[in-house]
Amino acid sequence: MGFYSNVIFPRVLDWVMARGVLAEYRQRVLSDAEGEVLEIGFGTGANLPHYPPHIHKITTVEPNLGMNAVAQKRIKASSIVVENRALRAEALSMPDNSFDTVVSTMTMCSIADLNQALREIHRVLKPGGRLLFLEHGLSSDPKVQAWQHRLTPVTKLLGDGCHLNRNIQRYVETLPFRIFTSKQFYLEGTPKVGGYMYQGVAAKD
């Protein structure tokens, strides 16, 4: 990874991801976290302040060392113990059936092989374990979709691999997950091309 990915982008992302409206949705999604928790794409630690009080430890994966450096301020300010591993979501080192909860927020857009990452998430979840997700992706509006397809080559370059045009629910449904709850909406105060959201809970049978 170059200077932009390791130094500049983590700080830009930290500023964008810590916005107030996103914080509210993070708290809603994370309220369902329980047991052994794995967070995919820990980034700059924006989720840490929003975990419920009964969560005392989480395992995280984040391959970008620049993100980990920025995340230290939140880790030090949190009572949650963070065991961070510099892994890609497509190649998790954890044993099968290790976690009760896997969390993914604003991460699936930038995973190079999302299908493989979801297979790994499914593998490390315990039977009955749940995937909690809050992601941006492909709009239901064809006019917005057209712009998302046009702009994705640019956001992949400037956003460290970010795709605007992924249908997140369709990806999750390709694995043997059972969707408990799912909603799609536009994030308030955000351009529609980047603010179409997927929020949901999927379980491993």
Distance CA 106, CA 43 (A): 9
H-assigned helices in 98-195 = 114-124, 142-158, 168-173
Residue-level pLDDT at 14: 67
Residue-level pLDDT at 18: 63
Structure tokens at 65: 């060392």
Distance CA 205, CA 202 (A): 10
Q: Where are the domains of the chain?
A: 3-204
CA-wise closest residue to 58 among 31, 34, 93, 90: 34
Structure tokens at 6: 């390791």
Residue-level pLDDT at 180: 84
CATH classification number, 3-204, choose in 3.10.180.10, 3.40.140.10, 3.40.50.1820, 3.40.50.150: 3.40.50.150
Residue-level pLDDT at 61: 97
Residue-level pLDDT at 10: 67
In order along its 205 residues, the chain shows pLDDT tens digits of 577 777 786 676 766 766 678 889 999 999 999 999 999 999 999 999 999 999 999 999 999 888 888 889 899 999 999 999 999 999 999 999 999 999 999 999 999 999 999 999 999 999 999 999 999 999 999 999 999 999 999 999 988 899 999 999 999 998 889 988 899 999 999 999 999 999 999 999 8
